[in-house]
Amino acid sequence: MRQLRAWFLRLGGFFSKKRSDREFAQEMESHLQMHIDDNLRSGMTPGEARRNALIKLGGVAQAEEKYRERRGIPALETFAQDLRFAVRMLLKNPGFTFVAILILAMGIGANTAMFSVVHAVLLKPLAYSEPDRIVTLATFWRADAHQSQVSGPDYHDWHDQSDAFESMASYNHQDTAVTVGTGSGATAEYAHAAAVTAEFFNVFAISPAAGREFSADELKPGSAGAAILSYTFAARHFGEAGDALGKPLHIAGKNLAIVGVMPLGFRFPEKTDVWIPVDAQEMGSSLRSAHNYKVVGRLRTGVTLEQAQAQMNAIGARIERKYPDSNSGLSVAVTRLRDQMVGDYRLTLYMMLAAVGVVLLIACANLANMLLAKAVGRAREIAIRAAVGASRIRIVRQLITESVVLALLAGGLGVALAFWGSRALVALAPADVPRLAEAGIDGRVLFFALGVSLAASLLFGLAPAMQVMRVDLNMALKQSAQRTGGGSLADHMRQALVVAEIALSVILVAGAGLLIKSFVALQNVSLGFQIEHVLVVETSVPSSDLESARRASRFYRDLLPRLRAIPGVLSAGATGAPPGDTRSDGGYYIDHLPATFNVSAPNAVYSVVAPDTFATVGIPLRAGRDFNEGDTYEAPFVAVINEALARQAFPNQDPIGHSIYCGLDSMNPMKIVGIVGNIRQYGPARDPSPEIYMPNEQHPQPATDLTLLMRTSMQPGTLSPAVREKIRELSPEVPVKFTTMEVLTSENIAVPRFRTLLLGIFAALAVCLALAGVYGVMSYVVGQRVNEIGLRMALGASQGDVLRLVLRQTVLMTGLGITVGLAGAAAVTQLLTSLLFGVKATDPGTYAAVVALLVLAALAASYIPARRAMRVDPMVALRYE
Amino acid sequence: MSSKADVWQGTLALMVLKTLQTLGPLHGYGIARRIEQTSGDLLSVNYGTLYPALLKLEQEGYINSEWGQSDNNRKAKYYRLTRAGRKQLAKEAQEWGQATAILARFLAPGVEQS
């Protein structure tokens, strides 16, 4: 307590120095006077009295110093002194300071911005109660270690047989038509709806902000059902969350009563607006081979992920033994929700963070170089300070204080840059990165920036400090300020730093080069369909049973001719999933069904399409015919297959006329009537899969939500109003969402574009910094060797000789840097393998280009210093001494 | 310079507190003189070293100070013992008594008077 009080007073003393100095002087003065008075009284002469009093008081200066030490905190005072001195030094050299802060601020800003994204997406806990207990459960396919959705019966077994989970729920979700309210004013809109089982909200330990959860009755098969809204959706339609309760909602062909509104911010999964009870009947009776649901669970308190996984393994094995037809080769994967959400982005984001860290390293190397040059220039000043008694530690502390001040200033500016950079990153990133919108500068990000700044200050402050530690006092004092070289150690250090900069740049540029090459390859892949001038309109016709689904078929049958009649529309079709996307896939059988189904049947993508769709998007008809108006529900079932399926199932045979079976909605045989060209359904990075096209009218239930496709003679977007009007005329219950094929396909490669662009930017930054480093060192070297160069020229060296002299050093440094860098790149780019497409991590072309780029850049950077060297006037240089 | 012993570390504070308890509020000069006199001029106080010690005691809250007039009308800073200072003095005095008693007993048998 007493100690603490004293410390606070001393801290106070640190700030009220002047006043207290005066008071001490007064006290000394009064002490002296009283002593002199006494001495006089005892008979001394005035002179003697004063002398005696002064001796007795001891060294006033010493006492004062001790008093001061006691009053304040000496370390703090030294620090304040260093700080003042550092600021003075930085102000004395505004150009240097400005450049140094700018370089460093860019490095720190880029790191902070990147970290804000990594923090929001990867590190920050999910905004649910005890988020680490929330896991996802998925079907695990041992053959290729991939995870998929879960079948209804499997889910029920998992749920009933496990006890590692406090609660477990399954759900599925999609964009669907929702009409709020009734009457003439109500129009349909797209909303994200999730159909969930009973314990869904328990998994997140969340309860409605208004109203209640689903009752047991509402969850029963065949009940009237109910709906729960997200806060934002409720607020948008009803103003107040509470006002939504009891109002009707039309969704999936049913009128449901709104019974609850969830708290603001809860929208799992994705951006859900409406939760409804899952169709228990469909879920319970559906096949084990139909993987249509996702599953989440909440671990019981104290149960670890590993324990839960072990238990699910056992349950999975039991199910596998019991149902070998549907479940052989399948197990269960338990993953933390956060890890599952982040999935593919983890590698990309950490790679970017590493890359931006390398940029900062290069910036630090640059700064170390600049400070080293300055420290050498200051060798004399430092030697003098050492000579008058400053300890080395004290001097090093001074230098480090300067570095820290520099780094903190740069950190401040860097955070300002990061505000902007973080927003830019969010704008650049693919739209579906989870939680990206939360990225911003918060306390933890600021703390990171501070940490990075301090670490950086140590990194670049160390080299000059080490240099100072070994300055030879005598030498430094004897030499003139101009000629005080740092000796060979400083020169070596400087060159080593530049070599490191070049090496790091090589790694980044090689990585960027590989990604750019992959990206170009991705973009050049032919997708198999037309991209330009195609308008894409998502629609959804509400339906609940076969009857209403067939009404949906009629709606599309009526709509398509009207769309074709719009001026500017060349051709129109409709499909269950736009090209480049898939909604459904599974096994298929040729000519006859096997006695038992098994999971090893060959797989194909299932698509429902309307007549004329192939022509609309430019998928070529290779043989047979397209669907037409005659392929109705009552007509014989037909199918069109793609070339990949024809090759796989009919080697050396004509497929046309054979029949094919698949479990899209029924196991009716379909006669193959046509063959079309392949498209890449899973984006440019994957080869085309076999695909079965079926006429939408013959499969009404999977064909109630079709995507309209229109080839246009003008900018597709300009037709949107006319299309919207035609759809409204026919049915106001159908919501629409417009986009174009160009936008859709570019979204497919948004992730590679993001990482290519970012790494490209970072690599460019790295090269610029490395160039600055080469330029700095070469300028310095030339400056140091002016005399030598002058002498050589006086002795007859030509300008060419001088040029060679300078360039030799550049080439040496660059060559060494590139060699080291290539070795590093060969190791590091292995990590990129999974991100590359159409190019190997060891692509010689890329490496050759990297080497050429850096050599040229380094030569360019040393051009100015070299030219200066060539223009050295021997007379001036020699007289200089 | 002289054969007098310097005030040894740690005891100055105790002497200051005791002096203030005995004489009441006093200025630095007075305290220094009093310590010298009490020691029978065996101790030599470098008067300057007193002030940091006074500052420390004040920071710790054992004494406080205010400016006043001395007997012969000089302005001087007067130090006064606080309640905490009184307690501290009692505690330290007791500790010292103990320490010296122990040492005395320790040294007694082997002491060679010379």
What is the phi/psi pair of residue A570, to 5°?
A: -85, -35
Q: What is the pLDDT of residue A619?
A: 94
Most confident range (mean pLDDT) of A732-746, B45-59, B63-77 is A732-746
Q: What is the pLDDT of residue B110?
A: 60
B56 contacts A66? CB cut-off 8 A: no
Q: In chain A, what are the helix, strand and coil shares in percent, each to the nearest 5?
A: 55, 15, 25
pLDDT digits (tens, 9 = 90+) for B90-114: 988 888 888 888 888 888 776 554 4
Give me the interface pTM, i.e. the ipTM.
Answer: 0.81
Q: What is the pLDDT of residue A630?
A: 92
CA distance A26 to B47: 15
The answer to whether B82 and B76 are in contact (CB under 8 A) is: no
pLDDT (average), residues A235-251:
85
What is the phi/psi pair of residue A233, to 5°?
A: -65, -45
Residue A22, phi-psi category: left (phi > 0), alpha (psi -120 to 50), beta (remainder): alpha
pLDDT (average), residues A451-476:
77
CA distance A543 to A237: 23
Q: CB-side exposure of B65: number of CA atoms within 13 Å?
A: 19
Within 8 A of A9 by CB-CB distance, chain B residues are: 59
A67 inside 8 A of chain B by CB: yes
A69 inside 8 A of chain B by CB: yes
The answer to whether A787 and A881 are in contact (CB under 8 A) is: yes
Mean pLDDT of chain A: 85
Q: What is the pLDDT of residue A184?
A: 59
pLDDT digits (tens, 9 = 90+) for A116-137: 988 888 888 888 888 889 999 9
| Closest Cα in chain B to A33 | B74
Output the CA–CA distances (angstroms, integers) from residue A626 to A3, A449, A621, A639, A664, in the order listed.
92, 61, 7, 9, 20
Torsion of Cα atoms, A189 then A191 then A195 then A196, to 10°: -140
Grouping H, G, I as helix, E, B as strand and the rest as coil, residue A857 is helix
Count of Cβ atoms closer than 10 Å to residue A728 Cβ: 14
The answer to whether B78 and B39 are in contact (CB under 8 A) is: no
pLDDT of A720 strictly over 50 = yes
CA distance B29 to B32: 5
CA distance A352 to A117: 10
For A182-205, give one letter per residue: b (16+ CB within 10 A) or e: eeeeeebbbbbbbbbbbbbbbbbe
Smallest Cβ–Cβ distance between B52 and the set A26, A56, A66 belongs to A66
A71 inside 8 A of chain B by CB: yes
Residue A464 distance to chain B (closest CA, Å): 39
Residue A85 distance to chain B (closest CA, Å): 28
The architecture (CATH level 2) of B5-107 comes to Orthogonal Bundle (1.10)
Rounded to 5°, the CA angle A165-A171-A177 comes to 160
B85 alpha-carbon distance from chain centroid: 12
pLDDT tier at A671, thresholds 50, 70, 90: very high
| Closest Cα in chain B to A55 | B46
Within 8 A of B82 by CB-CB distance, chain A residues are: none
DSSP letters spanning A80-109 = HHHHHHHHHHHHH-HHHHHHHHHHHHHHHH
For A625-645, give one letter per residue: b (16+ CB within 10 A) or e: ebbeeebeeeeebbbbbbbbb
pTM (whole model) above 0.80: no
Count of Cβ atoms closer than 10 Å to residue A328 Cβ: 13
pLDDT of A201 strictly over 60 = yes
CA distance A124 to A341: 13
CA distance A361 to A364: 5
Which residue is it, tokens 């509400």? A542
Output the CA–CA distances (angstroms, integers) from residue A288 to A135, A197, A279, A295, A584, in the order listed.
22, 18, 16, 15, 16
Count contacts between A and B (CB, < 8 Å).
75
pLDDT digits (tens, 9 = 90+) for A145-190: 888 888 888 999 999 999 999 999 999 888 888 888 766 566 778 8
B29 contacts A34? CB cut-off 8 A: yes
A62 inside 8 A of chain B by CB: yes
Grouping H, G, I as helix, E, B as strand and the rest as coil, residue A483 is coil
pLDDT digits (tens, 9 = 90+) for A89-98: 888 878 888 8
pLDDT digits (tens, 9 = 90+) for A100-116: 898 899 899 999 999 99
A554 alpha-carbon distance from chain centroid: 45
pLDDT tier at A646, thresholds 50, 70, 90: very high
Torsion of Cα atoms, A726 then A729 then A732 then A736, to 10°: 0
Q: What is the pLDDT of residue A484?
A: 45
Count of Cβ atoms closer than 10 Å to residue A321 Cβ: 10
Which residue is it, tokens 């170009």? A520
Residues 33-92 of chain B with CB under 8 A from chain A are 33, 46-49, 51-52, 55-56, 59-61, 70, 72, 74-77, 84
Look up residue A635 and give its DSSP letter. Answer: S
Residue B45 distance to chain A (closest CA, Å): 8
Q: Which amino acid is at A493?
A: M
pLDDT digits (tens, 9 = 90+) for A313-370: 999 999 999 988 788 888 999 999 988 888 778 888 888 899 999 999 999 988 888 8
User: What is the share, in percent, of chain A residues with pLDDT greater than 70?
Assistant: 92
Within 8 A of A49 by CB-CB distance, chain B residues are: none
The answer to whether A85 and A400 are in contact (CB under 8 A) is: no
A35 inside 8 A of chain B by CB: yes
A5 inside 8 A of chain B by CB: yes
Grouping H, G, I as helix, E, B as strand and the rest as coil, residue A661 is strand
pLDDT of A310 strictly over 90 = yes
pLDDT digits (tens, 9 = 90+) for A781-824: 787 777 788 888 888 888 888 888 888 888 888 999 999 999 99
User: What is the share, in percent, of chain A residues with pLDDT greater than 90?
Assistant: 35
Lowest average pLDDT, out of A405-414, A606-615, A784-793, B105-114, goes to: B105-114
pLDDT tier at A36, thresholds 50, 70, 90: confident
pLDDT of B3 strictly over 50 = no
